[in-house]
Amino acid sequence: MKVENISNIDKFFDVINSCKGKVELVTNEGDRLNLKSKLSQFVSLAKVFSGGEIEEVEIVAYEPEDITKLMEFMIDG
């Protein structure tokens, strides 16, 4: 799923951490980063706060209930 303009980073990572299965961020180059990894979360946050713009990213979740959680977050914020 493609996501954009995440305004509540803390809630976003709370939702990611509550997922049962693997959740990955897919870069434009095709690299896959495990979003449940604290290191990947810190790298993502560093990108946001260093002035880099993240217009759109692709998130891949492998468990149907995790996809539902992520979709609900994107709708409710």
DSSP string, 37-73: SHHHHHHHHHHHHTT-----EEEEE-SHHHHHHHHHH
Name the residue type at position 59: I
| Integer angstrom CA distances of residue 25 from 15, 44 | 14, 10
pLDDT in tens, 1-59: 887 777 777 888 899 999 999 999 887 778 888 989 988 878 777 666 665 555 667 88
**What phi, psi does 50 have (nearest 5°)?**
-90, 5
Q: What is the pLDDT of residue 65?
A: 96
Please give the model's pTM, rounded to 2 decimal places: 0.71
pLDDT in tens, 55-74: 667 889 999 999 999 999 88
The domains of the chain, with CATH numbers, are: 2-76 (3.30.1340.10)
Q: What is the pLDDT of residue 23?
A: 93
